Amino acid sequence: MLHNDYPIESKLRKETIIVTVKHELEKDLQENEEICPNCKGTGLNIHDNVYGISNNKNVIGIRKPLFPYKNPSLGFCQHCYNGVLKKCSKCGKLKTRNEQYCSCGHDRYIQEQKQIEKNNLAWENVKKIKYNTDEYLTYDFEMLYIEQFDKFVKVDYDDSEVYDLLSDYNFDFSDDKLDIKDLHIYATTELKINIDAYSMVMQACEDLHEDAFDSISNTDISILQDMINDWIEKQLNTTSYVPNYKVGIIFE
């Protein structure tokens, strides 16, 4: 032997153990649940637990796999949870345990319908104000959010963006026309960068001597906050909007 690390296999031994588990598991299954065919409902299967030995290198001309040995044990079945899989209520296909929606599209359709119902209910109950009325103008909205298109539109007192989106949609889906009265248009809330001088200074003093933070006066922190606020004012492109689901906007 040229390499003294090759004959390590002679130091390995094989032991075979017999696993016999005989036990009845009575499972309460729901209508859309089936026994996992991979583990026959036990929730367990055999894991090989392969491994290699670091000094057991390839010998010239003999290619050994990286993990040639195994130490099998019983572990949880990776295909299911507790021996049970869910099946699609439409096509009956068993879904993998990570598959929320069946590939036939049925689950996704049901999910979408539920979401539409939820959105419709929320829209029915929301406080609504009429676009461009005195009440509306007191709010000074920069942007509006159209739920059906998941789009933000700039308020330009000409509402053309809303109508443009609507006509694009009606062009694409001529069988399923939407009217502006069908749209769920929500107000928005403006979000700006928020940098708090107090917590910034506190963090900056963390590794300094224990009285460092207390030695900084409130006035000095206010001065820093004013400087930060001036800087924030200049970051115009960072302003963001989120839908305000408490105020609906209706067009005539």
Binding site for Zn ion (CB under 5 A): 36, 38-39, 77, 79-80, 88, 90-91, 93, 102, 104, 106
Q: What are phi and psi of 117, to 5 degrees?
A: -60, -45
**Which tokens is 70 given?**
């195994």
Kindly tell me which of 102 and 166 has the beta carbon lying closer to Zn ion. Answer: 102
Give least dist CB 1 to Zn ion, A: 45
Least distance to Zn ion from the beta carbon of 88, Å? 3
Given a contact cutoff of 8 angstroms between Cβ atoms, the answer to whether 42 and 83 are in contact is yes
Q: Which residues contact 56 (CB under 8 A, 6 or more apart)?
A: 5, 6, 8, 9, 64, 68
Alpha-carbon distance of 142 to 193, in angstroms, equals: 17
Residues 186, 176: Cα–Cα separation, whole Å:
22
Nearer to Zn ion, 110 or 202 (CB): 110
Least separation in angstroms between CB 100 and Zn ion: 12
- Quote the DSSP letter at residue 160: H
Nearer to Zn ion, 8 or 104 (CB): 104
Q: Name the minimum Å distance from CB 93 to Zn ion.
A: 5
Give which of 222, 202, 200 is closest to 210, Cα–Cα: 202
Residues 6+ apart with CB under 8 A from 183: 146, 147, 148, 162, 166, 251
Q: Least separation, in Å, of the C-beta of 148 and Zn ion?
A: 26
Q: Closer to Zn ion at the Cβ: 43 or 248?
A: 43
CA angle 176/125/190 to nearest 5° reads 85
In the complex, minimum distance from the CB of residue 106 to Zn ion, in angstroms, rounded to a whole number: 5
Complex with Zn ion: residue 7 or 37, whichever CB lies closer? 37
CB 46 within 8 A of CB 72: yes
> What are the tokens at 46?
């055999």
Cα dihedral 107→112→113→116 (10° resolution): 160
- Whichever of 36 and 187 has its CB closer to Zn ion, that residue is 36
- Closest to Zn ion by CB, 24 or 134: 24
The least CB distance from residue 73 to Zn ion, in Å, is: 16
